Chain A
């Protein structure tokens, strides 16, 4: 026990003297978790909460464009900025401004909309037999609205604006069409019909699919806090992996072999210290997600209801990171090699494991490759707990994979050190 305590003390001293390693393990993930969560959250808020500037140049000779602009302004999603520019100059004006999108209404916008509504109402009325002429609808794609966008604007956001515009245009068209039908039937359109249509749209309730009734709301915090904590954990490869290479190459392991101390004590001390580091990383970053995030307007981290399962996943993730670092330190020949290979592998494992981009958006073959990444399984464990509030049964594949990964790494490490006659 005394030997284990001495070995632990030495590991702690070595760790404390490793400024780069500590920075990579604590400061880097803290910065990442803040930056990425703020960015993702503000992107979410841009779409959902904030008004964004919308540059509007209205070349329309009719009134329908004004109705559409008013509807956009009423939506409170946009801050409408009117421009007198023509089509060519609007693009330049957008580029010169801080805005992201601009709409240009062509001169025939209202006329085209009215013609379309007229054609549709005529078709409906004739088919009701109110008029004798049976019209056929002709495809008419002549109505154009130009949406200029800054190329930095993500496609999904562009699409949501486009869909919103279509939705408002449809409402205007429907209104015009209904009025036209009533006119053709020589009746007065009910005044409250339009109001009814606007106020009684279908409400889409969005409900996260959770295994429990816990009120977890999937958001940028629930993803980023565990994801970047895992990234940080695996970056212990720079510190621990580097130390192992040094000890192998400078003869320290040989000296240790000459001591009346088992190798299990030496290995055990490293595992204990770095597992503690992993737990410290989790405690620190999760506490920030829980306590600091709400203070700066970010969503608060919500704990899963199965806290014991969370502890198990944290321990298994930490042990996976430690085993990976030990493995890299054992199979590489120099500290430069260990740092390079370790860092590159962590980044690759993070990329394919869904730390940056969720794996479900990846093509199928990439999703299969993702399963080779220990970070994928660690993240999957946290996803099950933090996003789905899953139970032990759903965690079983994750637990099984991580145990297999840890055991495999340790077996390879022991074989390699035995081959080198260091143990």
Chain B
């Protein structure tokens, strides 16, 4: 199966039922393989809606998102699901089960064999420092451990693009640091990262490109270094505040 090459977001708008305003208004951009894209914006800017549309959880009201491989062919359905990973904002894990049981379940649903599951589990547990807790029920985990497991479960099938919706929400500094470090390693291995957050410092550590959303519209789509060069005296937070409004 040939590799994913580009994601094209073509003039998408989204209006929820009974909503007075558009949550996304005529949003267009491309994602290239290897991008570390941060979709940033204040609460209610449309970040989660955009990531839900990108992952196929939501359909746009207008417009389309297309995934293409290196040959320019469109990828969809289960082929696409095997190429993308999604880390939801919530702990989308079974807390009554232990880590191993969660991994075995989601791994099997990704179509992995027993051997593949064991191998990937060993790799990821070592990577995230959860080896010793793998037989402990998840409900006894700390918030940071749950966040790490949330991430592990999205990586079992080694996705080419990983979507992360606020992946560090509610974790302490140490866990946040570990997650950011891992994401950078993942990106270095060639995984495309699409990440939403309203933490500018985090974005600065992970992303090479940012899309700033405000009231459902893109107000900035640029390379971080270029953006900082354009505004030399300002921090990313100050730039963020300059382009967005408080909701």
Q: Which residues of A are at the interface with B, using a C-beta cutoff of 8 A?
A: 2-3, 5-7, 9-10, 13-14, 17-18, 249-252, 254-261, 265, 421
Contacts and interface: CB of A to CB of B under 8 A. Distances in A.
Interface residues of B, number: 30
A258 B94 contact: no
B193 interface: no
Contacts of A7: 105, 108-109
Q: Please report whether the interface of chain A is mostly helix, strand, loop or mixed according to DSSP.
A: helix
Interface string B107-127: 011110000000000000000
Contact of A258 (B81, B96, B97, B104): B81
Contacts of A421: 57-58
A254 B89 CA distance: 11
B174 interface: no
A250 B104 contact: no
B90 interface: yes
B163 to A, nearest CB: 9
B60 to A, nearest CB: 12
A419 to B, nearest CB: 9
A259 B91 contact: no
B104 A255 contact: no
Interface of B: 55-58, 78, 81-82, 84-86, 88-94, 96-97, 101, 104-106, 108-111, 137, 153-154
B101 A10 contact: yes
A13 B101 contact: yes
Nearest to B165: A251
A302 B105 CA distance: 43
Nearest to A5: B108
Given A255-B86, A421-B58, A261 B109 contact: yes
A6 B97 CA distance: 13
A257 B57 contact: yes
B47 to A, nearest CB: 16
B89 A251 contact: yes
A254 B88 contact: yes
Nearest to A16: B96
A46 to B, nearest CB: 47
A255 B92 contact: yes
A250 B110 contact: no
Given A9-B105, A10-B105, A251-B88, A260 B111 contact: yes
Nearest to A419: B17
